[in-house]
Structure 1
Amino acid sequence: MSTARRITRRIVDQGRFLRNWASSPLTTGAVAPSGPALTKAMAAAAEPERGGIILELGPGTGVMTEALIARGIDESRIVMIEYSADFCHLLRRRFPRAQVVQGDAYHVKKTLDLPNGSVASVISSLPLFTRPLEARRGLMHDCIDLLVRGAPFIQFSYALVPPVPAEAGRFTTRPSPWILRNVPPARVWTYRSA
Structure 2
Amino acid sequence: MKELSFVLQYIKKPRATGAILPSSNYLADKMIEDINFEQARCIVEYGPGTGIFTEKLLENRQRNTTVMLFEYNYDFYNLLKDKFKNEENLIIVNDSAENVGNYLEKYGITNVDYVVSGLPFASLPKEISENILKQTKIILKRDGKFVTFQYSRFKIKFIKKYFKYIDLKREFRNVPPAYVLNCINYNQ
Q: Are the equivalent residues in 2 in contact too, given 1:81–1:102 (CA < 8 A)?
A: yes
Q: Are the equivalent residues in 1 in contact too, given 2:160–2:166 (CA < 8 A)?
A: no
Paired residues for 1:1-194 under 5 Å = 12-74=1-63, 77-96=66-85, 97=87, 98-110=90-102, 112-113=104-105, 117-161=110-154, 162=156, 164-167=158-161, 171-194=163-186
**In structure 1, what residue type is equivalent to 2:9?**
N
**Structure 2: tracts of 5 or more residues without a match:** none
**Structure 1: tracts of 5 or more residues without a match:** 1-11
**In structure 2, what residue type is equivalent to 1:91?**
L
Partner Cα separation in structure 2 for residue 29 and residue 17 of structure 1: 10
Give 1:135 shift: 3.0
Q: Percent identity?
A: 28
Partner Cα separation in structure 1 for residue 157 and residue 120 of structure 2: 9
Q: SS in structure 2 opposite 1:190?
A: strand
Aligned residues: 181
Aligned pair in 2 of structure 1 residues 73, 147: CA closer, same or farther (>3 Å)?
same
**In structure 1, what residue type is equivalent to 2:173?**
R
**CA RMSD after TM alignment:** 2.3
